[in-house]
Amino acid sequence: MQKLNYDTMKSYQSFSTIEEMDHSVRGFLYTYKSSLSEGTLKVLTFIWRHSVKVFGVSFAKYDTIAAGVELNRRTVIRVVKTLESLGFLKKVPTARMNGKQGVNLLIIQPYQSIDELLTNHMPPQDVTHDVTPNKTENKQSSLCENKPNKRTNVTETNHITPVEQLIDNSSINAHEIDASFVPEIVHEKFIHAAKPFFHAFDIYRLWKRVLIAYNKLNFKRCIEDVMDIIVYAFKQTVFMKRMKKIHTSFEGYFYRTLYSMLNVEKRRENRHLLYDFIGSDNNCIE
């Protein structure tokens, strides 16, 4: 076993930036979140938050994690094993300076980002050239422009199932797709706040603006920590819209409001960054 020191931890750094780590974790959650228990998600989030000094490496003890997520130590150990089996974590034992067993390094492993996952899971282009443009045009008109789709005759050689053909040929527009269709990458708190006012497509589009603002400011904490600010910015935008004070688009006004609020929070984070870095060392390395 290696000695636990900064050089050892640095040698296991799995990401070059916090943003790279965040994209990787979100890609993993996009794939597995629906199958993970609430306790597993709590432990994962705790490890994620405590992997910012050395990007991707957490050196919190099991007892520290257990206290932080309010679970018992045995449950935390079981969750860590589950995350190891899924390829999210790699556990590396270390030794103290006196030679006795030290804390385990929990190393977040690289995973494909959401954009990469969506790209890599695109269906194979096995349809004829005269069908593909029409299908693309139909989807854009139904979800973006709220116009009826043009029906396209699809033969069996295109490998389209009856259900897929029914969906492609339907006249469903964006306003008929409710919040239950929103992808899991959108935080449930945001869905809850937005669903009385917007359908699934617009909720997803607004969430993309949230991610742009959050990533642009390079927060050291995960997005869960600023969800209250995000929801508050959305509610303020709704209020101003109802008061007829917004003379531009709702989406643009929301983005500017959110960015301004998150920027204030970012300055607070930077003000305490040095103090947190020094004061938290003794809490994590035991």
- Residues 24 and 109: their CA atoms lie apart, in Å, by 8
Q: Does some domain include residue 148?
A: yes
Q: What pLDDT does 115 receive?
A: 74
* Residue 49: domain span: 2-116
- Residues 50 and 158: their CA atoms lie apart, in Å, by 49
Residues 26 and 40 both lie in one domain: yes
Per DSSP, what are the bridge partners of residue 2? 94
Q: What pLDDT does 218 receive?
A: 84
Tally of domains within the chain: 3
- Residues 48 and 68: their CA atoms lie apart, in Å, by 13
Residues 157 and 213 both lie in one domain: no
Per DSSP, what are the bridge partners of residue 89? 108
* Whether this model's pTM surpasses 0.85: no
| Residue 108 burial (CB count, 10 A) | 23
Q: Does some domain include residue 144?
A: yes
Spell out the per-residue pLDDT of the chain, length 286, in tens: 566 677 888 888 989 999 999 988 998 998 888 888 889 999 999 999 999 989 999 989 999 999 999 999 999 999 999 999 889 999 988 877 666 777 889 999 998 877 777 666 544 433 333 333 343 333 333 333 344 444 434 333 344 444 444 444 444 455 557 778 888 889 999 999 999 998 888 898 899 989 988 888 888 788 888 999 999 999 999 999 898 888 888 988 999 999 999 988 888 877 665 555 545 555 544 4
Q: What pLDDT does 132 receive?
A: 34
Q: Does some domain include residue 281?
A: no
Q: What pLDDT does 220 receive?
A: 79
Q: Map residue 257 onto helix, strand or coil.
A: helix
Residues 209 and 243 both lie in one domain: yes
Residues 171 and 197 both lie in one domain: no
